[in-house]
Structure 1
Amino acid sequence: MFQRITCTRIGDGEFVQDVAREAPVAIFVNGRHLTTVILSPAGLEDFITGYLYTEEIIRSPGEIESVRIEENRISVLTKDPFRRGNVKKTILSGCGGAASYIDTQKLPAIDSDHMVAVPEIKAAVDALPAPGVLEAVALADGSRIVACSQDLDRHNALDRVIGRGLRDGFDLSRMVAVGTGSVTSEMVRKCLMAKIPVLVSTGPPTALAVEIALETGLCIVGSAGTPDMAVYAHAERITGLSA
């Protein structure tokens, strides 16, 4: 995910530094172009599994017949070769194009009795890779990290760990997603699609992310690992809040 380049530091001359790689990658499903994404060009099988799942193009990894990864292109063949896909970045409703808004009735609701303790959250956050150029997202089973991915974009990193979890057969409804950066409505949507009941991040959530989470049963913990750590939605899923 990194490439060594030569640059000149102001006042200190020439030196070699590792910089993050990024690449446009075109995604084709059953021979049809779905979308083109910009991401770190590594670990693409996990990414494409999670991405197609959270975009509702597949319902399980078993629906993928084959994946061919080439330079700047991922070609996926599903067991139903006539299946078409559409990218669902937001769920919008409106009347005649005059107004649009996220329709939470079209999003799945979390149905899980999974509880997480505050010490487990702190331990999972501490286990994340050190802050750097790349965003990190992990799946935690209690305080134990079972999958972790990094990418330039935290949404891509979330797709990667969801894909890893699906490919490894994890029960995502008993997992916690733990990541760096702010929590956006798109991250909430992806967690809802994957049935992940708790989303923890080192940054705060957006107001829209909290609004959607409150209506759909997702627990959001923001600013984790800092003195400002707080539960923004569905605190009933967190034990030890008064400690």
Structure 2
Amino acid sequence: MNEKKVLIIDDDPHIREILEDYLKFEGFSVYAAEDTAKGYQLLNADDFDVLILDIMLPDEDGWEFCQRIRPEFELPIIFLSAKDESTDKITGLELGADDYITKPFSPREVVARIKAVLRRYQTDSEAANSMSFGELIINKEEHFIKYKDETIELTPKEFSLLWHLAKNPKKVFRRENLLKAVWGYDYFGDVRTVDTHIKSLRQKLGEAAEAIETVWGVGYKFEAKKLEV
């Protein structure tokens, strides 16, 4: 079993150190950053399984950072905060966090919460291997597309592009974000690569292509309502 990678973004060195010690003892691979700038660099450089994010940070607060990275990175986010108000917890969860832990905390509790969130993600991931929108079926596990009972052959990149759009219906993606998500951070191609693949994807999808909408001056989105019967 591969080690799960945890990224901690917290400006308190004592908190980083104690969490690092506990998590490493539990078999996690741990990386740490004191601010969101370094944290963002680390997120782009590696694939993490969970992010532990402080709210009060020197360069950007955790709320803003969470909101900014959610469209780009698919991983559980657990907030750490000295704020114990229920409204703060609700705000964190509404912004896309998966859990909220108040300071002071027990390191063992943080480890237990991380394990619980990872179990939920594993279950959700297994359940989300197939999506259907009207007569369009996208099956990730078996890597096939069907529309009106006809199988549509897609290249691996076309499939990944469609999957990424469809699993986030209504969300508008910039070409740069799609390039990073589908081709990877180290891909140095032109953003027009995305346009070329979208064009090919639309041609292959036929009538179902109307679900892929162009948002002029921004990028693309998947509009599931277009496929409702």
Task: Tell me if both proteins adopt one fold, taking TM over 0.5 as the criterion.
Answer: no
The answer to which structure, 1 or 2, has the higher relative contact order (CA under 8 A, 6+ apart) is 1
Higher strand share: 1
TM-score, L = length of structure 2: 0.29
Higher helix share: 2
